[in-house]
Amino acid sequence: MFETHFGFSAPPFQLNPDPTFYFGSKGHSNALAYLQYGVHQAEGFIVVTGDIGAGKTTLVRTLLEGLDSTQVKAAQIASTQLDATGLLQAMLTAFGVPHQPGAQSKASLISTLEAFFMTLAIKNKRALLVVDEAQNLSMDAIEELRMLSNFQLRKQALLQSFLVGQPELRGMLESQRLEQLRQRVIASCHLGPLDLDETRRYIEHRLNRVGWKGNPSFEDAAFPRIHQATGGIPRRINLLCNRLLLSAFLENLNRIDEDHIVRIARELRDEVGETTVAMAPVRPAEPRAQRVAEPRTVVPVPMPGPAEQPERSLALHRIARLDVQGERTVMCLVDSPASYFKAALLASALEQGESACRVVVVGCRTAQQLGPVENYAEAVDLPSLEVHLGVQSGGAARRTADSVLRFETLLDEFDPDAVVPLGLSDDLVSCVMLAIRRGIPSLRVDAGSLPPESFPGPRINADVLDRLSSVLYAPTRVASLALAQSGVPAHRIQVVGSVLLDGVAAAQTAGTLANALMAHHGLGSDFILVTSRVGEGRLAAASLSKLVLMLSRVRGERSMLWLVCGETQSALRAQGLGTVLSRSGIALASLPVFSAKLPILERASHLVTDAQDDLVEVAFALGKKVLLVDEEGQAPMVTDPAMAWLPLNATDLGPAQPPRDARNPDGGAAPAVARHLRGWLADPAGQASLRPEGAPAARLLSERA
């Protein structure tokens, strides 16, 4: 009716959920990023709650549209007044599995579903179930869903479930009966109302989607009045604005003012009652730097029951070297030798000068997993204070839950002004999400440099951190351009160089052991470095002979150095492969210290290793060709010229990687980060201008595990 009159291509404020109108408010953008992280886990439950009309269904449908249908088979159940048997029948119908409603026993329904899920898994697909209005499910039905989550094939979960519902769903999940299900919740979020600023941008966003040219116009005072009348609930805004446009059309108005809104809002209240359009007190939007994150906005961690609570104080391993004082506290999160090395460099830069900051380095795992860090001291000053969470047992969800619970005690103790994530593990990302939920900003180092597609987990986590961080320190202008193209405002991006390259330069200066080793083996600047190793879930010892033969074939005329751990060296000796290596001209050396490996990698042309190796990240930063050993011979095709899979039957190294000048701007990246970070912490106005606003619709990655 009024669409043609105002020149709209479609109704801008329809009540039906439509992903094409998705608006990325701060809450919705964060929730979407968290849910993508949860989907990437490919198992367990994701819980989405929110008041009626908050945009839960639109959010979920937006996420589902970004899924790769060749990998995920999604189904949705909307009618949830169901018992356990009714739920099973509804699932078969939603997934399109042939069955006779009401004619099958519960056991038969379960076996039919399991067979369907197995068929999907054989096709390299998995099932995703979305249960809308999940607060209406019976306890038996929810427990049945938990039982279905036990279906596995080769340790891969066959079913993942979304539970979408109103706030009372959370109360249901907190019951003692559902303790086991709580332990399987991978991500959880609650959608609250829009604030005043977001309400205006939401209205203009929907109007612009249908070709709005300013007719009708809205006076500035109209938006606070709409927010007051709707409480910032998207569906209420749609209802009121739809009626405003209809009224403007019928009354031949081309401007909507405050009096018009008050009159139409009163008419709606008379028609549909106070519960639909509630007059809330007008409250101006708070400055972003002063706004405290609402406690129920996002909870991106599993919800453990009482039996799962760890002994927090006993698990923490503290190492205090110096007592550094500062007005501000910065917490650096690490999960690998490379990230620890970056944290040490950054801490050294932040703890110097008149405006020194206190730096706490938090290891998301155990200190032992970082190796003998005291040996790093030849290249960099070690952090003054580091605390290791010590999580190492249990499944992935349990480890993440324990990490977050222990990290929460550190947030209470140190009350940091900012967190700086320096790794990409799931545990680390979950800890950062908790900090953001508590209003602590995240500052991202090496932003915009996504890992290759062959590393889907770290790639998605990198994207999540880029989207949620207040300041993004990009290593190159190319990385900053990638961030800008993904929707990050330019004023939040600082091009400072790569902190990892700072570490390589520091290691070169102090690398006497590495230099002596290379001189001993006569290595120049064009040799192949191998760091493949057996044990710890990496290369199987049975594959060593094939690997040795392959390395001897692909080496050609180039020198090759294999840095081995003790376990790998013992396995080579036990299989009598030392003679083969010697005849093939492949040198062996034992060099476990991470910092000593950096000068060797810097002079190598290729790195042959596996995806879990600590040097992979450094190799990408240096522009080296990375060749990952394909033990099974089933690796996917790779389009990134910086890396390739190397099967055990390979005869050459493939196309060469063009050399790249990997240098930092003068002065180094870590000092540049420290200067900007200290200035940012000292400037509340600057903090407000650099907080993520989440206004543009999030463009989600489609990579899946």
> The domain that contains 208 carries what CATH number?
1.10.8.60
As a whole number, the mean pLDDT across the chain is: 81
Check whether residue 200 and residue 316 sit in a common domain: no
Question: Residue range 96-106: average pLDDT?
Answer: 72
What CA–CA distance (Å, rounded) separates 563 from 569? 9
Q: In the prediction, which pLDDT does 676 show?
A: 92
> The domain that contains 122 carries what CATH number?
3.40.50.300
Check whether residue 347 and residue 493 sit in a common domain: yes
Q: In the prediction, which pLDDT does 319 show?
A: 85
Check whether residue 54 and residue 154 sit in a common domain: yes
| Residue 694 reports pLDDT greater than 50 | no
Q: In the prediction, which pLDDT does 218 show?
A: 92
What CA–CA distance (Å, rounded) separates 158 from 143? 17
Check whether residue 347 and residue 474 sit in a common domain: yes
Q: In the prediction, which pLDDT does 241 show?
A: 92
Residue 698's SS3 state is: coil
Check whether residue 487 and residue 539 sit in a common domain: no
Question: Residue range 584-590: average pLDDT?
Answer: 86
461 occurs within a structural domain? yes
Of 176, 191, 206, at which residue does a domain stop? Answer: 191
Asked if residue 671 lies in contact with residue 349, where contact means CB atoms within 8 angstroms, the answer is yes
Quote the Cα angle for 58-63-69, to 5°.
125
199 occurs within a structural domain? yes
Check whether residue 441 and residue 533 sit in a common domain: no
What CA–CA distance (Å, rounded) separates 691 from 682? 15
Q: In the prediction, which pLDDT does 480 show?
A: 92
| Residue 604 reports pLDDT greater than 70 | yes
Domain extent, residue 239, equals 2-9+194-272
Query: Which range, of 55-69, 221-235, 261-275, 552-566, averages the lowest pLDDT?
Result: 261-275
| Residue 659 reports pLDDT greater than 90 | no
Position 282 confidence tier, pLDDT thresholds 50, 70, 90: very low
Check whether residue 561 and residue 634 sit in a common domain: yes
| Residue 411 reports pLDDT greater than 90 | yes
| Residue 584 reports pLDDT greater than 70 | yes
| Residue 158 reports pLDDT greater than 60 | yes
Residue 218's SS3 state is: strand
- The length of the chain in residues reads 705
> The domain that contains 473 carries what CATH number?
3.40.50.2000
Of 127, 160, 191, at which residue does a domain stop? Answer: 191
Q: In the prediction, which pLDDT does 35 show?
A: 78
Q: In the prediction, which pLDDT does 672 show?
A: 92
| Residue 343 reports pLDDT greater than 90 | yes
What CA–CA distance (Å, rounded) separates 648 from 645? 10
| Residue 273 reports pLDDT greater than 60 | no
641 occurs within a structural domain? yes
- Neighbouring C-alpha atoms within 13 Å toward the C-beta of 242: 15
Q: In the prediction, which pLDDT does 551 show?
A: 92
| Residue 79 reports pLDDT greater than 80 | no
Check whether residue 153 and residue 243 sit in a common domain: no
Q: Tokens 């109209």, residue?
A: 222
The H or E element containing residue 196 is: helix 196-209
Check whether residue 458 and residue 492 sit in a common domain: yes
Q: Can you list the positions of beta strands (E) in 310-357?
A: 317-320, 329-334
Of 272, 302, 331, at which residue does a domain stop? Answer: 272
Question: Residue range 579-588: average pLDDT?
Answer: 86
Check whether residue 47 and residue 184 sit in a common domain: yes
Residue 57 tokens read as: 């269904």
Question: Residue range 369-394: average pLDDT?
Answer: 78
525 occurs within a structural domain? yes
Check whether residue 422 and residue 402 sit in a common domain: yes
Check whether residue 242 and residue 322 sit in a common domain: no
C-alpha dihedral over 506, 512, 513, 519, to 10 degrees?
Answer: 120
| Residue 226 reports pLDDT greater than 60 | yes
What CA–CA distance (Å, rounded) separates 521 from 537? 30
Question: Residue range 249-263: average pLDDT?
Answer: 90
Position 236 confidence tier, pLDDT thresholds 50, 70, 90: very high
343 occurs within a structural domain? yes
700 occurs within a structural domain? no
Position 277 confidence tier, pLDDT thresholds 50, 70, 90: very low
Query: Which range, of 77-86, 271-280, 320-329, 528-537, averages the lowest pLDDT?
Result: 271-280
Q: How many structural domains does the chain have?
A: 4
Reported as a single tens digit per residue, the pLDDT across 3-15 is 888 889 989 998 8
Query: Which range, of 227-231, 291-295, 370-374, 494-498, averages the lowest pLDDT?
Result: 291-295
CB count within 10 Å of CB 521 equals 13
Residue 135's SS3 state is: helix
**What is the pTM assigned to this prediction?**
0.59
| Residue 684 reports pLDDT greater than 90 | no
Q: In the prediction, which pLDDT does 296 show?
A: 31
Quote the Cα angle for 265-268-269, to 5°.
90
